[in-house]
Each structure stands twice: as structure tokens, then as C-alpha cells.
Structure 1
């Protein structure tokens, strides 16, 4: 059995439509009443949006119900599906913990509550029957104040048993007016030994070369090879990896045709820049990681050898994978070891 690593999956966008609908049926009559039936809800939840901003609004739908009490419910079903249907051996879940705290509390009270959220997510992710190595990436947010984002970095540094890195999310077009602030926060994270990734170069409005040196991986990053291929040698020299999420760019209207990604892969392979193929929001897309692989092969965007290189890159750049090899190599070692025969008494 092939085993994969997923480096870019949002906790909010990971809830598949059926699971979310069943939750609403049990706990939110008001939400259910907005739709005629499940199929109507699924169509609304998974349909393409015109812009990234419009797409990101869907996250608020899930964030509002992912609380301290309900997170174990969603995470159990997430990991069950990831193990059974996606063959994941490794999963990094990213989210903004502040947005899972009660809105009626003061800012300082919500900051204090974030620690509990991280602990709940961490403990709920340890499920013996679905043995996946998991870790969290805590997302700073473009629409949150500096004090909250700094507290998120501090929380990541203080909880390395559950957290492997930090990110910035909320729409890359909003970074410009606070660019120095993001550079400062990322450098602060690095000084604390916290690993870094960030939603950057996803859209044409999100190209900030000043932020690139602060990142170990780049969330999306497709506009580098598409619009700024002259930057690729720098990425290769720094050993940075792009977290490419193919279905996202169609759902957000960033690309018109998935085949436009062929340029992304071709230029990155030529320049020696690694790519990890990811899902981003598997629930919003109703798409699992093996489908992303298959889709890229079907459209001749990559070949099987390149797919394997991307799968290897995912483990190579995983922030919390504890082994020097990917699972396939470990299994090959086991299979090539002669069995020990125990004499019959």
C-alpha cells in the first residue's frame, strides 16, 4: 500500500460535505432549513467561487462550529477518512486557533483560550485505530491585529509537542499594508526555532519577494514559476518547497484551466525546486489527495516519475515527520528482510 504525506490542509476546509451536513442536522435546524436537501447543500458548499475572497468566506461557516466541544467530533472523522480513503501516513493540519475561541470574550481572554484549542486538536488527533503522524501549523491571519498574531507565534513555540510551524492566511492580497509586520513576525518565529510556511504567490496580488527569505516552504507559490521564474534559482538555493494545491486554483478562479499548472511543474523541475502536491481544503473541494495525483496524470501535467518525486518531496519537507525515509522505503526494508523462522516445539 502506498502511503502519502499531506502538508497543506486547513482544518476548516477539511470537513467533507456529508459530515458537516450530518452535524447541522443534529445541531443546527436553522442551517438545515436554508437548503432543500443534502444535494443542494453539497452543491453550495463545493461549487467554484469567482475570487479567493469569496472562497475564503466559506471557512467562516465551519469555523463557527469548530469549538472546544466539537473539534474532537470533526477531527476523528477527518483522520478516519484520511487513513482509510487517502492512505495518509503524515498530516499537517493548519488553522487559526483564535478563530475557534468564543467571540463574546475579550481579545486577551480569547488569546488565553487558544492554548486549550491547540491541546484539544493535538489530543484528538491521537487515534490508535488510525495511526497517522499528525502535527499542527498555526495560522496567523491577515485580518487579525499584531498582538494576536504574535501570541500565535508564541503559542507555537511553547507547544512543539503538538505544533510544527506557523503560517499566514486570510488572503495574500491583504499583506501589503503590513508587510514589515509580517517580516518581523516570521523572523521572530525563526528566532524561537519555529518552522515557517506562508500563503504567498497564490494569486497575482500576493507576490511579495521580501517575505520569501522568511519561509522554509511556500504555501501555493504558483505565481513564482508563472510570473516570476527568475526567482526560482533563489528558491532552489534556499531549499524551499512549493505546496501546490491543484483543485484550489480552479475553485477560486485563480486559474481557468488546470493544465496551466504544467508550466508550474515544468519550470520547477527544471530549476530544481521541490513541489509537494496537496489538497488545501479537501472538504470544500470534495476531493481527496489521490484524486489530485490522478488528475495531474490524466491531464499530462506530470508523469509517474515526477509524481513520485513530488511524493518524496512531501516527506522530505514535512516539518514533523520523524523518520529519515518515506514509508515506502521503510516497508521495502521490512519486505527484503528474511523472516525469522521459529522452530516448532
Structure 2
């Protein structure tokens, strides 16, 4: 494959980040510092071997991944830790050219230390507003249910998300191991969220195949699907996703890190893009996988031969698939056009971040 020769800076390309988990967005250096301050003992895999060697395609590997994630979550003990995480995450997004961040959080994972579900969500929303004011990067929250828990717990979260729709919560998700809970079991929770005007963005098609994605579409009314890369196993499903305009949140380094694909070049990013599937590149959990958002675009350029015009279209797709307000979307899309139209050497003058 002929490699693109353009030198346009990818950190100057305006974009939206739609697939980023709350704890997983933390800087590694911050994790180490907070663990020391809060008396949390980190395993070697989160200190000396970072990023850890992971594999999630078997239950033992997924258990290890989840264990490391839970340990990292336990380092967040104080309200100021939450504020720091979101401020630094928004700083990283600003540096990546991201003009909209949609970060997903399951408040039940923190409720015991922050005063319950409602108090936890309000803390995160307040920290998100502070991060936006400090960096200029608008932040929307996705409340995400855990598919390894009972669907009734998801309904509780959906009702909580409904209370804050229009006040910072913009979407509702479903995450964790697809093998432990089918999407169709959570239809009731997503019905509550959709009726509140929240975007539906469940995970699907990462550890399980096309059936998982079809359930997200048929049962949960998905506007976006987290990952969704295994849709490529069913050409009719790919055509349906493209026709319906459902955005797939594809996270290259995460998929390699968890063993969904053995090598980057095995990922179907190019095949899905060429089939007309809307794609929003994401990072999933850079705390555990390493690279952040700009590197995902660099992979599209370096490994899959995306031209600057195609990278610009990826950025547009991320904006169109977002829950960003109309004014933010308009500004970002105009910035993408400016990025691709300006000569590479003029970027500093013509492609300021939104």
C-alpha cells in the first residue's frame, strides 16, 4: 500500500472523541501519584511494566484486565482526584485537537466512596464543567451500565441519566464483557434513556460477533456501537450499518491490546470505511493501552494509508456521530474543512483548535 506523504499535523485536525472510559482516561503518572497519596498498592503491571500486557479474548485474560482496571479505579478516593482526572483528560484532548469529549462513567463504581449514585454523578458533572472552563474543551457525559450486572441495575442508572439529560448527560451506554450479558436483556434501560432524548451507545462486536451488534441495533436502538469491528464478518450487517448511518466507535490500540486482532493491519478499519460505515476513532482506556487519540489517526494514516482527505472525513464522522450541541458541531466541521484545505505549512495560522 502506498503511504501518504502529507505532513499535515494530526493534532491540528479538529475531531470528537466518543469512546473513552472515565478511569481509563487517567494519565499513568497520575495513577502512580494518587495511589501513593491514597495508600493504594499498585501491582507491578501498573507500575514497572506499563502499559501492561493484556489479552481479553479468554475469560482469564479478561479477568486480569478487569482486575487492573478496578485497582486503578480504587486510587480515586477524594473529590479532588475526580477533578484532577477530568482536568488532565480535557488537557490531553485539547492537545489532540479534540473539540468535543464524550466520556463514559458508571457511577455505581464510585458510589460507595462519594455518597451514592446521585452524589457521584453530580460530582463528575461538576468536575466536567470545571475541566471545560479550564481547557475550552466541551465535555458530555455518557452514563454507562455494566452488562455483567442485573438489568434492573441498568434501569436505575437509566433513570438517573434521565434526570440529568440536558444538564451534562448526553448518552447512555452498556459496557464490559459481552459474553456475560446479551444486549437484549437491557432493552428496558435503553428505552428509558432514549425517551429522555439520550443517544444510545452500547458496546458490541468486540468480543462477540455480528449477533451482538444486531441486538444493539434491534433491541437497543443504537445510534452508535462501541467497537463494532466484528461487523465485518457479516457483509449484510456492514451494509445495514452504513445505510442506517450508525457510527462505530473503533479503538485500534485497544483492539490489539486485548487480542481482538493480532496485528494492526488485520483490523478492518479500511474495509469498513470503504464500505461507507461511519467511524469515530477512540482510545477506550489509554491508561491501560498507552496511545491516545492522535495516535489512532496516525495509525489510520501509517498502517491503512488514509489520505489527509480521508482523515478529515474520519474527523467529520466523529463529529456527526456525537451528541455535541449544534454550535459545537458547526465549529468543528468548519475547522476540519480548514485543516484539509490549507497547505500543510500554513496549519499554525489556518487550523487553530476550536
- Residue 151 of structure 1 is matched in structure 2 by 156
1:245 equivalenced with 2:251 (yes/no): yes
User: How many residues matched?
Assistant: 316
1:9 counterpart = 2:20: yes
Correspondence 1:24 to 2:35: yes
Give TM-score scaled by structure 2 length: 0.82
Q: Which residue of 2 aligns with 1:229?
A: 235
Shift of 1:332: 7.4
> Aligned in 2, Cα 1:292/1:140: closer, same or farther, shift over 3 Å?
same
Per chain length, whose mean CA-contact separation is higher, i.e. which structure has more relative contact order (CA < 8 Å, sep 6+)? Answer: 2
Q: 1:317 aligns with which of 313, 316, 321?
A: 321
Aligned counterpart, 2:141 = 136
Which structure has the greater CA radius of gyration?
1
Q: Is the 8 A contact 2:178 2:208 kept in 1?
A: no
Alignment gaps of 5+ in structure 2: 1-11, 343-354
* Residue 216 (structure 1) aligned with residue 207 (structure 2): no
Distance 2:35 2:78 in 1: 17
Q: Check the 8 A contact 1:139/1:169 in 2, yes or no.
A: yes
- Residues 207, 61 of structure 1: CA spacing in aligned structure 2 closer, same or farther, 3 A cutoff? farther
Shifted more, 310-319 versus 69-78: the winner is: 69-78
Q: RMSD across aligned C-alpha pairs, in angstroms?
A: 2.5
The answer to whether the Cα contact below 8 Å between 2:26 and 2:287 also exists between their aligned partners in 1 is: yes
Query: Once the two structures are superposed, what CA deviation does each residue of 1:52-92 show, in whole Å capped at 9, x if it has no partner?
Result: 51323322112223346231122222222222x32221101
Contact kept in structure 1, 2:210 and 2:237, CA below 8 Å: no
The CA distance in 2 between the partners of 1:312 and 1:114, in whole Å, is 35
Query: 1:133-158 CA distances to partner (integer Å, 9 max, x unpaired)?
Result: 10110111012223321011111111
Q: Structure 2: how far apart are the matches of 1:331 and 1:192?
A: 31
What is the TM-score of this pair, normalised by structure 1?
A: 0.84
Matched, 1:186 2:190: yes
State the distance in 1 between where 2:336 and 2:278 align.
24
Q: CA deviation at 1:115?
A: 1.4
Shift of 1:328: 5.6
Aligned counterparts of 1:332 and 1:256: Cα–Cα separation in 2: 35
What is aligned with 2:56? 51
